[in-house]
Amino acid sequence: MGREQRVAILGATGAVGAELLTLLEERSFPLASLKLLASPRSAGTYLTFKGERIPVEPVSETAFRGVDWVLASAGATVSKTWAKAVVEAGAVMVDNSSAFRMDPEVPLVVPEVNPQDALRHQGIIANPNCTTILMCVVIYPLHKRIPIRRVVAATYQSASGAGARAMQELRDQSRAYLEGKPLEPRVFPYPIAFNLFPHNSPLQENGYCQEEMKMVNESRKIMGSPNLRLTATCVRVPLMRAHAEALNLEFEQPFPVEQARQILAEAPGVVLLEDWQQNRFPMPIDVSGKDDVAVGRIRQDISEPKALELWLCGDQIRKGAALNAIQIVELLSVPQPVTA
Amino acid sequence: MGREQRVAILGATGAVGAELLTLLEERSFPLASLKLLASPRSAGTYLTFKGERIPVEPVSETAFRGVDWVLASAGATVSKTWAKAVVEAGAVMVDNSSAFRMDPEVPLVVPEVNPQDALRHQGIIANPNCTTILMCVVIYPLHKRIPIRRVVAATYQSASGAGARAMQELRDQSRAYLEGKPLEPRVFPYPIAFNLFPHNSPLQENGYCQEEMKMVNESRKIMGSPNLRLTATCVRVPLMRAHAEALNLEFEQPFPVEQARQILAEAPGVVLLEDWQQNRFPMPIDVSGKDDVAVGRIRQDISEPKALELWLCGDQIRKGAALNAIQIVELLSVPQPVTA
């Protein structure tokens, strides 16, 4: 292990904040110190880490002094507000928000895909969108073998992507539904229990929502393929914390299914989960709380000789957010490969 | 209205059977008589129709005498067992199962798409797969204007597609989940509450499941396009009774979005539901208990100039099964257009 790191979590009281704490503990991350930061509204409480109660302090100009890493997951506005102070304090911000992802000066990193990009940071490294991370971990190893020409994606996204309050809303509405009571949307614009709807992020001029355009733009940057053709339909479904994606991948050349399966079976951060006899493929409950993205149903597209169909599930809070951020820190501070 | 019809429902105690009763009542269908049939196991009970208790009789060789139409929704085995007796009794079977759908002698009909095919029946007319019906109602009007070259579909399918017991299972498991109890799959092979999985129909040699191949083969027959290229990923999601589908449609020529919108706004059996300001598009709760298939998010595919993306929701039990069957009967017995 490398030298111990001084870490601050900005947005410690949120869903991703909680997962960061879990992971730092689980992975025996070499911590010199741990600081928990949140907005003045959320500060003042305590969180437990390795059996110890740690106070949640209000974020301030001076909060980043003596810190090596700031893991930020309190939204784009908060990240933009404090980025300068973090860098001036000599710390590196690994930012889970969308604030800096498309900034050409800021690396956007999935450690299994473009670890080399992390090295050229200037104090900020962006953690990609959750749906994009899960997709890139799976499609990049295939893309390296035979370049992808076009992706048609449809997603099945859990409530956790909208935070802890959205997860509670799904729980509350589900209970109300079963009791025959009306569902009252507060976090999501429409009922989520026993329902689903196109992703609620703002719509762009071109008819795509922000979530879909993140998949397009971020995957191009992460995979170093500025011309990658990708279209997506993102959908919120009544799941707690894992996303699923149906991906149609068209390659420059036909891609033998067995070769794709072999590549994915060996790909870092990916687990192949296929039992064709039992019709058993990745499900959200398989990956909840797990690090790897599960992939299966890899099959030749019967409508297009150069295309494959596949299906993946990944934990949105873990690999889709908190784990990826910690892997970035490990990549730059722990002198051994991040992935097996 | 035409002359009154003598109708029998085979499989009266199932989810589709219940919906057939509801629809016959709602639509003031000109009934001369109504006979309810079920397996000996389910027979012996009573169902209510227009305030009247009607006995559910066990199906038998002689049960179809004096009947004009047999609406069958008790599964493929039951339909195959009784089809000959139905035809010999001089009745017409409108069969909701997969038993005869791909039989070249049997018309496979969506009244909004291929009503003319119904005329050439020889005693059996097949009602298509639910997912296929919902898709064809929406894509056929576009296909008529500019031929579709390829469809990439991803579905979000409700529990109702597996019957009333599956809907109860979703309810029971959801309650168990909220109470922290284990989920016990009985109808579905895997937990459905707060989970989802690739469609549980048997897998074919080519890696597609039966449900997906129904979309491929049935849509070709219904739309009269034997070479239509279509690939699909079908997924069960924790919804009660409405399906959703994300469709990527590639045409022979670029299809102006406004023209597609116009066509769908006027298409029979379709309702356009798009509020781009409010990010408000079709949701399962919009269409539950409704006749029309709701379509929205019609947009130019940014990855392919000749493709459009769109999103639809439709009631699986209603237009996906019971309503379509009754429309077929109306088409052949009621001397006026079925659709407005």
Give me the catalytic one of B121, B143, B199, B243.
B243
B199 is catalytic: no
CATH 3.40.50.720 at B5-128+321-333, yes or no: yes
- Asked whether residue A188 carries a pLDDT value surpassing 90, the answer given is yes
Residue in A231, A235, A300 closest to B301 by CB: A231
State the number of CA atoms in the 13 A half-sphere of A23 facing the CB.
25
Residue in A194, A246, A278 closest to B240 by CB: A194
* Sign of the CA dihedral with B138 first, then B140, B146, and B150 last: positive
> In the CATH scheme, what is the code of domain B132-316?
3.30.360.10
Asked if B311 and A233 count as a contact pair (C-beta separation under 8 A), the reply is: yes
From chain A, pick out residues whose CB is under 8 angstroms from the CB of B150: 303-304
What tokens does B69 get? 């139409």
**Domain residue ranges in chain A:** 5-128+321-333, 132-316
What tokens does A330 get? 């490990």
Q: Is A182 annotated as a binding residue?
A: yes
Q: How confident is the model over A8-21, as pLDDT tens digits?
A: 999 999 999 999 99
Inter-chain residue contact B303 with A151, CB threshold 8 Å: yes
Pick from A280, A340, A285, A338: nearest CA to A314: A285
- Mean pLDDT in residue range A318-322: 97
State the number of CA atoms in the 13 A half-sphere of A288 facing the CB.
14
Testing the interface with A: which of B135, B152, B155, B192 to mutate, by most A Cβ within 10 A? B152
From chain A, pick out residues whose CB is under 8 angstroms from the CB of B284: 194-196
What pLDDT is attached to residue A335?
64
Q: How confident is the model over A225-257, as pLDDT tens digits?
A: 999 999 999 999 999 999 999 999 999 999 999
- The residues facing B312 across adjacent strands are B245, B295
Backbone angles phi, psi at B51, to 5 degrees: 75, 0
Residue in B197, B302, B304 closest to A206 by CB: B302
- Mean pLDDT in residue range B20-26: 97
DSSP state of B263: H
SS3 A249: strand
Per DSSP, helices labelled H in B159-242 are 164-178, 210-223
Testing the interface with B: which of A131, A150, A181, A195 to mutate, by most B Cβ within 10 A? A195
Pairing of strands A5-10, A69-72: parallel
Give ∠ CA B254-B257-B259 in degrees, rounded to 5. 95
How far is residue B322's CA from residue B320's CA, in Å, rounded to a whole number? 7
How far is residue B137's CA from residue B9's CA, in Å, rounded to a whole number? 25
- Mean pLDDT in residue range A193-201: 98
Catalytic center residues of A: 130, 243
Pick from B100, B137, B163: nearest CA to B270: B137
Inter-chain residue contact A207 with B244, CB threshold 8 Å: no
Inter-chain residue contact A196 with B299, CB threshold 8 Å: no
Q: How confident is the model over B66-101, as pLDDT tens digits?
A: 999 999 999 999 999 999 999 999 999 999 999 999
**If you search the block for the tokens 């088409």, which residue do you land on?**
B331
What pLDDT is attached to residue B2?
61
- Asked whether residue B338 carries a pLDDT value surpassing 50, the answer given is no
DSSP state of B322: I
Q: What is the mean pLDDT of chain B?
A: 96
- Mean pLDDT in residue range B294-301: 98
Instruction: Tell me how crowded residue A294 is: count the other CB atoms within 10 A of its CB.
Output: 25
ipTM for the complex shown = 0.95
How far is residue B60's CA from residue B37's CA, in Å, rounded to a whole number? 9
Instruction: Tell me how crowded residue A14 is: count the other CB atoms within 10 A of its CB.
Output: 22
What pLDDT is attached to residue A1?
46
Decide which of B260 and B28 is more confident. B260
- The residues facing B299 across adjacent strands are B309
Question: B336: pLDDT confidence band, cut at 50, 70 and 90?
Answer: low
Residue in A174, A189, A237 closest to B237 by CB: A237
- Mean pLDDT in residue range B305-312: 98
Inter-chain residue contact B237 with A299, CB threshold 8 Å: no
Inter-chain residue contact A216 with B307, CB threshold 8 Å: no
How far is residue B269's CA from residue A158's CA, in Å, rounded to a whole number? 31
**Taking every pair of C-alpha atoms in chain B, what is the biggest distance, in angstroms?**
59
Pick from A136, A176, A144: nearest CA to A319: A136
